[in-house]
Amino acid sequence: MGGMVRLETVLESWRTIRQDTAQTVEDMPAGEMDFKPVPEVMSFGEIARHVLDASHALTGILLAGVDNLATPEFRKMVKEYVRPLPEKLDAATLAAELRSSLEERLAELARQPAEFFAGIITRFDGQRVTRLEMIQFIKEHELTHRQQLFLYLRMKGIVPVTTRRRQAKK
C-alpha cells in the first residue's frame, strides 16, 4: 500500500469539512450573507454558493465519465452539472443544500469500483491526475474557501465551529 490514500478516509474527511462549512453558513448572522470585507472579493454567500456549485459540478462531471476537463467548453460543462437551485438562497437553505449535495455525491462515489478512482483524467489546468486525486483537489478547494468563510466570521466577531469544538475539549 505504499503511498496509497484510502478512499474511505478521503470521503469521510470531506464529510467533516462539509459539516463545518454548512455550520459556518448557519453561524453567519441573518442579513449578513452579502458581507464582503472589500468590494473586489466574493461575498460570504457567494463563496458558500461557489463551494456548493463547484463541488457538485466537478464530482458530477467525474461520475459522468468525463476524462478531459481541459477544454474550451469547461465552464459551460460545469453549469450543466450544478444543482438546479434559485440563484439566491437564504442561509438555512444553503446550509441544507451543502449537506445534502455532498451526502448525495459521497454515496454515488462510494458505489464506484476501485478502477474508477485509479483512472487518469486531465484536469482543467492540463494536469494529469487520478480521479481520486481530483476528488482530493475538490476537497482542498473547499478547505480554502471554508477558511475564507471563517475569516469573514472572525471579522464579525464570531468564533468558527472548529475553534469552538477545540475549546470545548479543554
Mean pLDDT by 10 residues, the chain (170 residues): 76 97 96 96 97 98 97 95 94 97 97 96 96 97 98 97 91
Please give the model's pTM, rounded to 2 decimal places: 0.94
pLDDT of residue 30: 84
Residues in the chain: 170
d(CA 123, CA 127) in angstroms, rounded, equals 5
pLDDT of residue 159: 96
Going from N- to C-terminal start, the domains of the chain cover: 7-169
pLDDT of residue 170: 86
Number of Cβ within a 10 Å radius of residue 122 = 16
Question: Taking the domain 7-169, which CATH number applies?
Answer: 1.20.120.450
Helical residues (DSSP H) of the chain, grouped into ranges? 7-27, 44-63, 74-81, 91-110, 114-118, 131-155, 161-169
Residue 76: exposure state from Cβ atoms within 10 A (0-12, 13-18, ≥19): exposed
pLDDT of residue 22: 98
pLDDT of residue 1: 42
pLDDT of residue 5: 80
d(CA 5, CA 89) in angstroms, rounded, equals 36
pLDDT of residue 3: 58
